Amino acid sequence: MNYQQRIKGLQKKIRRKKIGSLLISKPENRRYLCGYQGGDHGINETSGLLLVPARGKVYLLTDFRFKLQAERQVPWAETIIYPKGALKLLGQLLPDLAITSLGFESDYTLHSFAKKMKETLSKKGIKSVATDGLVEKMREIKDEEEIDLIRSAVHLNEEVFAEIHTTLSGFSSEIDVALAIETTMRRKGAERPSFDTIVASGANGALPHAVPGNSPLAKGGSLTIDMGLILDGYCSDMTRNLVFGKASKRYKKLHRLVRRAQLAGAAVIRAGVRACDADKAARGIIADAGYGEYFGHSLGHGVGLAVHEEPRLSSRSNKKLKAGMIVTVEPGIYIPGWGGIRLENMYVVREDGCENLNRDITWLDI
């Protein structure tokens, strides 16, 4: 990755905003800009902040525990340790660098931290300025190197699914299946699952975000599996449905309906189309068949260094799709007491259409 080119691009934006520097706290933005892989333990325990001045070299601020990792992974930045917290360090460093304003990421900075930062910095005559989506905007469009990495993450995800699929009859519960999936992912080189694997059998399928439980997997019962992994920092996300034995007529009918909705959504996607138009196309198919009330979520979302990112394929989004965006298309039907079906693939937006990153083996066991 050409991190230093990304930094230069961001520095241009920083100068255009007329701020002296920007503090990067969101882990995906940090990784995008410098490749640092330190793991945060939630928003309250960062493994490092990237300070990007409007010009010149950048600084990776971290604590004792991550010093060696930071220096190894980002040798071209200056790693500085904060023994007494990031704010104390910023209060010294910014005046030393003659920087008089600091932008921060408003949607990944806690209210309490922003308040303390303002107090600390204003004493030194430094202004803190809320910013929004500067790096996210850059991340929306993937270059071909990123698309290749995401393609690899998608293919590994499919490989894991295929391996689990051959042994599914031996599993006794949703938890068993989820555990096997996540173990196989990591054995095959994934950093981790990109989200908690969803394995929902029978009526549990009616919960789009079902938590795997100990329910036995019944003969003739269905299974919805929503799984994703992170490989070299990039995410995949895929949903498939299975039936142990023979699917009922109703199951087959609804599965076909969801698939038709997915194809209708994907058929609309190309550069220049509004996000809501893809949602509308897929939703229309389901609504026309009389199941509109059972499809309660948006059609899809962007995927990249984060598994959920811009653009959202939502009825409320007028955002225009651009070539190089990567989105999921995942319509679903959820019927309380009966179960649910969701199908999810990932697509690259191209000038003249879209490229399906998945191989369409969507019909397993049915």
Burial 195-227 (b: 16+ CB within 10 A, else e): bebbbbbbbbbbebebebeebebeeebbbbbbb
Question: Residue from 3, 108, 244, 338 that binds its own copies (CB under 8 A)?
Answer: 108
Question: Residue from 272, 336, 363, 364 that binds its own copies (CB under 8 A)?
Answer: 336
Residue closest to 229 by CA, chosen among 267, 165, 178: 178
Distances (CA, A) of 225 to 87, 241, 264: 43, 6, 22
Question: Residue from 15, 43, 57, 137 that binds its own copies (CB under 8 A)?
Answer: 43
Q: Which stretch binds its own copies (CB under 8 A): 208-216, 236-244, 270-278, 282-290?
A: 208-216
Residues of this chain, 226-265, that bind its own copies according to CB under 8 A: none
CA dist., res. 173 & res. 211, Å (int): 12
Is residue 298 within 8 Å of residue 265, measured between CB atoms?
A: no
CA dist., res. 114 & res. 120, Å (int): 10
Nearer to its own copies, 114 or 273 (CB): 114
Q: What's the closest the beta carbon of residue 140 comes to its own copies, in angstroms?
A: 16
Q: Give strand pairing partners of 355.
A: 348
319: DSSP letter: P
Question: Residue from 32, 36, 82, 104 that binds its own copies (CB under 8 A)?
Answer: 104
**What's the distance, CA 6 to chain centroid?**
20
Q: Give strand pairing partners of 340.
A: 334
Our finding on whether 37 is near its own copies (CB under 8 A) is yes
Q: Which stretch binds its own copies (CB under 8 A): 41-49, 92-100, 243-251, 268-276?
A: 41-49
Our finding on whether 364 is near its own copies (CB under 8 A) is no
Nearer to its own copies, 197 or 345 (CB): 197
Our finding on whether 170 is near its own copies (CB under 8 A) is no
Q: Give strand pairing partners of 341.
A: 333
By rule CB under 8 A, what string of x and - marks binding of each residue 279-318 to its own copies? -----------------xx---------xx----------
Q: Which residues bind its own copies (CB under 8 A)?
A: 37-39, 41-45, 47, 64-66, 68-69, 83, 104, 106-115, 130, 132, 175, 179, 183, 186-187, 192, 195-196, 206-211, 296-297, 307-308, 336
